């Protein structure tokens, strides 16, 4: 998705597309239109904002952390995360044959690392993730009738929440803002 840092490219594209329909505008007119589309009164205000966004401090950014959960049985972990919760295994890594597994599982924007390595994490950790569709997710899990867990929905002050516990006592709270 484009943002204000792409404004000049957006203006060139707009000008070119309008020209295909025999509507000629100047580059400055295109810049003004793009600025208004992005919620700025005029191009000069947007241009100043772009300069601020591109300062060295703005280059520092963070992405969501990835929790690491300790696991002790790969088959049980896959049964829970892949088969029950519907996560995809993104990668698996072992340093050699008969070494502990380190892997990544994800579903949408929720990314988790699972590790058999002693010292990577402590069993019993908890992660919290915002989501949409927690009622539907709960219904999907209920239909699967997983033998070891029957999660419920809870009305918390911050939203509708469902907490699941894996076979190693790690918990994930899936929460939808209401």
Domains in the chain and their CATH numbers?
4-59 (no CATH), 68-176 (3.10.180.10)
Could you tell me which residue, 5 or 101, shows the higher pLDDT? 101
CB contact at 8 A, 86 and 131: no
pTM over cut 0.95: no
Q: Express each pLDDT in 88-146 by its tens digit.
A: 999 999 999 999 999 999 999 999 999 999 989 998 999 999 999 999 999 999 999 99
Q: What is the DSSP string of 140-152?
A: HHHHHT-TT----
Q: What percent of the chain has pLDDT over 70?
A: 93
The C-alpha atoms of residue 160 and residue 59 are separated, in whole angstroms, by: 35
Host H or E run for residue 46? helix 43-53
Q: In this model, does residue 60 exceed pLDDT 50?
A: yes
Q: Specify the pLDDT at position 59.
A: 77
């Amino acid at each position: 998705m484009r943002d204000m840092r792409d404004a000049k490219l957006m203006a060139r594209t707009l000008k070119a597309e309008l020209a295909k329909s025999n509507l000629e505008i100047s580059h400055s007119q295109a810049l003004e239109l793009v600025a208004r589309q992005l919620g700025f009164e005029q191009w000069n205000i947007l241009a100043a904002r772009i300069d601020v966004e591109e300062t060295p401090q703005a280059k520092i950014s963070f992405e969501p952390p990835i929790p690491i959960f300790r696991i002790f049985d790969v088959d049980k972990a896959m049964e829970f995360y892949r088969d029950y919760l519907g996560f995809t295994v993104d990668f698996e890594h072992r340093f050699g044959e008969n070494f502990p597994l380190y892997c990544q599982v994800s579903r949408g924007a929720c990314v988790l690392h699972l590790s058999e390595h002693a010292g990577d994490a402590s069993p019993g950790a908890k992660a919290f993730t915002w989501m949409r569709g927690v009622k539907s997710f709960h219904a999907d899990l209920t239909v699967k009738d997983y033998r070891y867990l029957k999660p419920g929905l809870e009305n918390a002050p911050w939203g509708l929440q469902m907490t699941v516990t894996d076979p190693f006592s790690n918990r994930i709270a899936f929460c939808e803002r209401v």
